[in-house]
A = this chain, B = another copy of it.
Amino acid sequence: MVEFWFEFASTYTYPAAMRIEALARARGIDVSWQPFLLGPIFREQGWDDSPFNIYPAKGRYMWRDLARLCDEIGLEFRKPSQFPRNGLLAARVACAFTRAAWVPSFVRNVYTANFAHDRDIADPEVLSDCLGSLVEDPAATLGVAGSDESKARLRQNSERAKALGIFGSPSFVVEGELFWGNDRLEAAFDWSRKRR
């Protein structure tokens, strides 16, 4: 079992979210999808914005590197006109319904909306589209996501992320062993195989 920890605003999480399910299936590994918020963790480090905005050289490089990465794996990519986008409501959806079979498809739809179609994932209408035919009643699903219970669940998940030592997205956790970055997805899966 590999835990996949993701923040919807994160750029490098886009290719990871798009790759993980097929890779897991090919290797016979179960993935546990764990949404969390990176904002509170960043704020504790003194950052009130994405480090890619705070440190421009790092940011310029990231956009170029991400474009190359997506190109290499044939993944559509368009630099969003706004960055970072607020993934709070999307994370509440994923967290409230974490065990539902449609969550991985929803997560991929949200990343695709943000990083391929330049849509604002903070907009409930965009999220309705992302829920599309995955659920019977997207509006009701968003309603559940906005409940106090769902808010509390996401807060708890974000606190658990911090307790696991997570400081960035994507992160992968295999029996307490932490792997950070799209580049470490295969290493996390290798680790999981070694532990069997």
Contact = CB atoms under 8 A, between A and B. Distances in A.
B165 A68 contact: no
Quickly give the copy total for this chain. 2
A181 B184 CA distance: 13
Interface stretch (A57-65, A84-92, A94-102, A137-145): A57-65
Q: A61, A180, A187 — which one has the most chain B CB atoms within 10 A of its CB?
A: A61
A178 interface: yes
Interface residues of A, number: 21
A180 B65 contact: yes
B183 A61 contact: no
Given A55-B45, A183-B183, A64 B167 contact: no
Nearest to A54: B45
B68 A167 contact: no
16 contacts: A41-B57, A55-B167, A57-B165, A57-B167, A58-B167, A58-B168, A60-B165, A61-B165, A61-B167, A61-B178, A61-B180, A65-B180, A65-B184, A68-B187, A181-B183, A183-B183
Contacts of A57: 41, 165-167
A7 to B, nearest CB: 15
A168 B61 CA distance: 11
A180 B183 CA distance: 12
